[in-house]
Amino acid sequence: MISALNLQPSVPYAFPGRSAAGTSALPAFVASDPSLLMSSTMQSLQALSVMELMLEMMSTMLGRGNGMARSLGLQGLDRGGLAPSNGVPDLNASYGPAVSSGALNIQAAIAAVPNANRAAAQRHFPILGSECERQGVTDKGQVAYILATAVHESGAGAHMEEFASGKAYEGRRSLGNTQVGDGSRYKGRGYVQVTGRRNYQDWSRRLGVDLVGNPAAAKDPAIAARILVEGMKEGTFTGKRLGDFVGGGRQDFHNARRVVNGTDKADAIAQIAQRIQAAL
């Protein structure tokens, strides 16, 4: 049974630090009793703190709450929703903001890709844009071609491991696959589908991460972004650098494909790059 209280008309009460718009009506009997008023105020502030923490955590999970993610030890969340793989050093700590700043319009670039790739681009393009910025890749043509390569090779990050078993690479000495099982063990992974023991060894050395012993780590977005951008920038995949074809007054999107894989699907990738560049 609920006992009846003699409630008097409510009076407005503003929480400390809140504007008039954030006032809350308290019963007069509470407002007139200092002990009740203090208790009610503390409960309200605690409730607000809990709500704000919950909102910040939700923001973190959407890739915007970088500071909160770091304070909770969830650095991977502010880089696209994945925490670093077990045993893999956190490469996110020095990566800067989740969405590339400066003159790059990443949201427009996302809208420029084919509809089938847009959801994945929404998640992964901010990571790649930030990595381009971190490595000093600011030419919009180069950024556009890097993003277009990710769209072609991995569906803009939707498929971070190739569908095939990798058995076709077994015994391929050109890839450094000299041990039994290397074909499947070192099949394509990441935004650029890095393939073969030799490439996994090379990137283990460059990153200071054991990709040879833990090849699945190449699928981690932070690691995969570093491989894609640095590999194209430095020409580690084929010996051809992206700057040989794009940037400094050059814009040969067709032959830029030679940075990764000859001229395979060169025209299709060039068209995607052109659309992204126009959006950026």
Looking at the structure, do residues 191 and 263 belong to the same domain, yes or no?
yes
Rounded (5°) CA angle 255-199-260: 10
The string of pLDDT tens digits covering residues 250-273 is 999 999 999 999 999 999 999 999
Looking at the structure, do residues 31 and 138 belong to the same domain, yes or no?
no
The string of pLDDT tens digits covering residues 77-129 is 333 333 333 445 444 443 333 344 457 899 999 999 999 999 999 999 999 99
Confirm whether 220 is domain-assigned.
yes
Domain holding 37, by residue range, is: 12-54
Looking at the structure, do residues 250 and 116 belong to the same domain, yes or no?
yes
The string of pLDDT tens digits covering residues 124-151 is 999 999 999 999 999 999 999 999 999 9
Counted domains in the chain: 2
Instruction: Evaluate whether 192 touches 201 at the Cβ level (below 8 Å).
Output: no
What pTM does this model have? 0.67
Confirm whether 5 is domain-assigned.
no
Looking at the structure, do residues 154 and 268 belong to the same domain, yes or no?
yes
CB-based burial of residue 12 (10 Å sphere; 0-12 exposed, 13-18 middle, 19+ buried)?
exposed
Confirm whether 106 is domain-assigned.
yes
